[in-house]
Structure 1
Amino acid sequence: MASPHPTPTQRNAGIDLVRVLMTMLVILHHTAIVYGGSGGWFWRQEPNASNPLLVMFNAVNQSYFMGLFFLLAGYYTPASFGRKGAGRYLADRGIRLGLPLLAFFFVLFPLTVAIADAVSGEDLLRRWGRGIMGGTHGPGPLWFALALLIFAHAYALLRWAGAFPASGRAAAALPRPGTLLLAMLGIGLVAFAVRLVIPVGHEVLWLQLGYFPGYILLFLAGIAAAPNRLLERIGMRAALPWLAVAVLAIVTLPVVIALHGAAGGFEGGWNWNALYYALWEPFVATGVILTLFAWAAAPARRSGPVARWFAANAFGAFIVHPPVVGALSRWAATIPAAPWIKFIGVSAAACICAFALASALRAIPGVRRVL
């Protein structure tokens, strides 16, 4: 007998729009680092964290956008596993995640480094070839694919062990406000504890484990939400109170920085700032994520040809955007304009070029199977 609320097997137009918007936000996030935002990137024109507005932009993004991707990954996992079985599911993950990870690690990472190293005067192709053969390699933003591969194997193992039975209990509705509040406090305290040992900015096998308590919880929340398609049924009325909480939390960040900026590092450690930041993130993330899905669930969200094109090329754009951002920002460095103008122009151009390049790559035979 068919389930009255089947797990998601087809893409939802509203959720696809959210996925496209988040991919564009990733591109804007990394472009912001070039022009004075905070974070690690291949090249920057302005000093790190030199632009307060872009620092705030990056901080708010970081609180929720990658967590939202993990939530969606968990949301589509049960149906994919159930349809394919463990062997085909893991093989598919190896193709869809492992191949892009390897391509970025050994080809696109050296290319992005070569583009960033334009001041050396050496020919770009020579720098790129030298980087491929003996330079520094890494996953760059494809750490996300690495993490999802780990999560996929962990899910398959736990499913085999009975921790995720195919007909297990699923979330029928959003948790009660008190439950959500306890979850936000709990994940913030766990993140604070993890960051006592591994602060934000420190990597273990290219993964910033200081953020992973939230990522793991959201991946599990996606799995729990899948059987009843809960992410597609969130109403704006339920989301708006949490959005108000998120806005209030966001407003407190510059105040805390101004008044208590010297009270310890926000990245981690036994200090008030680290505790504040660890708790601040889930309060912002909950409101923003719920509101995005409530917006996506509106009946007006329909999938036209343009929207379908962007959705089809979102993952490819995510993969190729680092060299695109690098090339455009390097070119823009020769233009006498204010950094905020360059941020707007380079961000817009990088979004267009990354999606267009992804579309061109998907036209190559066999690539569509991966991207």
Structure 2
Amino acid sequence: MNDKKRLYYLDNLRVVVITLVIAHHVGQAYGPTGGFWPIQEAERAAWLGPFFTVNRSFFMSLFFMISGYFTVMSFRSKGAKDFLNDRLLRLGLPTLVFGLVMIPIQLFAFSAPAFPVDVGHLWFLEHLLIFSAGYVLWQRLRPGRPETGQTQPGLPGYPTILVCALALAAVTGVVRIWYPIDKWVYLLGFIRVAFADVPRDLGFFIIG
């Protein structure tokens, strides 16, 4: 995207969300949270709990919404083949290197408990790669839809937004009956998934 077409407000929004991501994960070593952290304070700061609750309710989903917006733009400008090649290079390669090189080094250095093949906090890239591939497949299955040059759809009305919000809340609530927050599973041994957040993240990606 050149400077004339660059959406600077989205750049600024990404900076804000990245700051929240850093603050969230740094705070987990000091706040009331579980999991393994190489450096962990013995005394827990209870006031970080509300921050974690509010922050995790939107910040990663907002990332997916922004990514969904740029996914459409990239697909339309490059076409399916070049788009997938670009996604594999930008998302797949860093995830693969991190999972096969960086995670084992961390486990060895900090004597952490052994995990399956893990991508750690790059699960976001892993999910985004899967969502992007799903978008390409969906475009392929849509009859009479060219890969490039599509017109921009109109904005949804308030009733549509309300229905989508209620449906998303209902699906999320049902999923969390079986998969509570922060319950991570490994699909195929290496795809790190917290199903409690998948409906929201996927929903926001589609909205984007």
Q: TM-score, normalised by structure 1?
A: 0.48
Match runs of 1:79-228 below 5 Å: 79-117=73-111, 137-162=117-142, 165-166=145-146, 167=150, 170-172=153-155, 175-176=157-158, 178-205=159-186, 206-222=192-208
1:210 CA drift (Å): 1.1
How many pairs are equivalent? 197
Unmatched segments (≥5 aa) in structure 2: 187-191
Structure with a larger share of its residues in helix:
1
Distance, in Å, in 2 between the alignment partners of 1:28 and 1:203 is: 21
Aligned alpha-carbon RMSD (Å): 2.7
Corresponding residue of 1:42: 37
Corresponding residue of 1:69: 63
1:204 CA drift (Å): 3.1
Corresponding residue of 1:301: none
Compared with structure 1, are the counterparts of its residues 85 and 165 closer, same or farther at alpha carbon in structure 2 (3 Å cutoff)? same
Compared with structure 1, are the counterparts of its residues 135 and 209 closer, same or farther at alpha carbon in structure 2 (3 Å cutoff)? closer
Structure showing greater radius of gyration is: 1
Distance, in Å, in 2 between the alignment partners of 1:164 and 1:110 is: 47
Compared with structure 1, are the counterparts of its residues 63 and 135 closer, same or farther at alpha carbon in structure 2 (3 Å cutoff)? closer
Corresponding residue of 1:225: none
1:111 CA drift (Å): 3.3
Unmatched segments (≥5 aa) in structure 1: 1-8, 119-130, 223-371
| Offset from partner CA, 1:214-268 (integer Å, 9 cap, x none) | 111111111xxxxxxxxxxxxxxxxxxxxxxxxxxxxxxxxxxxxxxxxxxxxxx
1:170 CA drift (Å): 1.5
Distance, in Å, in 1 between the alignment partners of 2:153 and 2:182 is: 35
Distance, in Å, in 1 between the alignment partners of 2:195 and 2:74 is: 27
Given that residues 36 and 47 in structure 1 are in contact (C-alpha distance below 8 angstroms), is that contact kept between their aligned partners in structure 2?
no
1:184 CA drift (Å): 2.3
Q: TM-score, normalised by structure 2?
A: 0.83
Query: Identity over the aligned pairs, expressed in percent?
Result: 34
